[in-house]
Structure 1
Amino acid sequence: MTLVKHVLDVKGREVHVIHPSALVFDALQMMADNNVGSLVVMEGEKLVGIITERHYARQIALKGRTSSGTLVADIMSTRVACVRPDQTVEECMAIMTKRGVRHLPVLEGGGVVGLVSIGDMVNSVISDQQFVIEQLEHFIHGDR
């Protein structure tokens, strides 16, 4: 079973952070600049929320608000599902499915040490399956 810490070892531990008092426009710009779909919302060292492209679509675009006139704090999720580095990819996928989220901050020692997405989880599962397939092919062909 692949653990979250192994996924972070492959994808990296960079976390893009924004303050709750920032404008949604700035959050969108940061997401676009970094090619990510979410930002962790922090006040100092404290995780206070998460903002995603989905928040923008549902809370700004569909409600006729403006991204340049709305604060991140006004649309972010404050009940953030989080995981630990020692949890499995399967556990993460179950949490994502149950909570209806696509991004999970990774917490260790009280701090955010990474962020995993549903795409990261799918890539990990595909990689694991590809490894098993290759091993079975070698076994079938007698390559030991």
Structure 2
Amino acid sequence: MSNVSNLLDSKGHDVLTVKPDQPLHDVIDLMCTRLAGTALVMDGGEVKGILSERDVIRKVVLPRIGVDEVTVGDIMSKTLTTVSPDTPLDECMQIMTDKRVRHLPVLRDKQLRGIVSIGDVVKYLLLEKDFKIRNLETYISGSKESASN
């Protein structure tokens, strides 16, 4: 079974990071430009939280707070569920399902290594499964050809 490191090697280690004191409006623009659903909040090289589209909707839009009045630190989620590069992808799926989160920051020794989303994990597992099926089909059809000779 594949792990987070395999997925990150495939998709890349790039992560949108922002600072807690950044104006929310600027970060929303950045997220839209990068087509990112989340941004990791970093301060002094340390992960402090995560900002998601869901945070913006629930903590700013619904209470009708002016987006120009808020910083990232005001609304970021401070409780993070993280994984290591060695975490198996099936375990990631279970964590995301149990904790009802869509993104898992990847840390090793408190250092950010990347981020995986539920979409990343599903896509990778489907590609892996498809690869295994094709290999088995090739093996089976090769075995049939050998048996008929």
TM-score for both structures, normalised by structure 1: 0.94
Structure 2 equivalent of residue 53 of structure 1: 53
1:39 partnered with 2:39: yes
Read off the aligned partner of 1:119 and give its amino acid letter. Answer: G
Q: Kindly provide the CA deviation profile for residues 11-66 of structure 1, in whole angstroms up to 9, marking residues without a partner as x.
A: 11111111111111112111111111100001111111000111111111111112
The 5-angstrom pairing of residues 1-144 of structure 1 reads 1-142=1-142
Q: Give the distance between the partners of 2:136 and 2:113, measured in 1 at CA.
A: 35
Shift of 1:142: 2.0
SS state at 2:73 partner: helix
Q: Give the distance between the partners of 1:107 and 1:57, measured in 2 at CA.
A: 27
Q: Kindly provide the CA deviation profile for residues 74-127 of structure 1, in whole angstroms up to 9, marking residues without a partner as x.
A: 111100000000001111111111111111110012211101111110111101
SS state at 1:115 partner: strand
Unaligned stretches of 5+ in structure 2?
A: none
- Between Structure 1 and Structure 2, the one with more helix by share is 2
SS state at 2:104 partner: strand
SS state at 2:62 partner: helix
SS state at 1:7 partner: helix
The alignment-based identity, stated in percent, is 38
Which deviates more from structure 2 when the two are superposed, residues 77-86 or residues 124-133? 124-133
Q: Give the distance between the partners of 1:83 and 1:66, measured in 2 at CA.
A: 34
Read off the aligned partner of 2:125 and give its amino acid letter. Answer: V
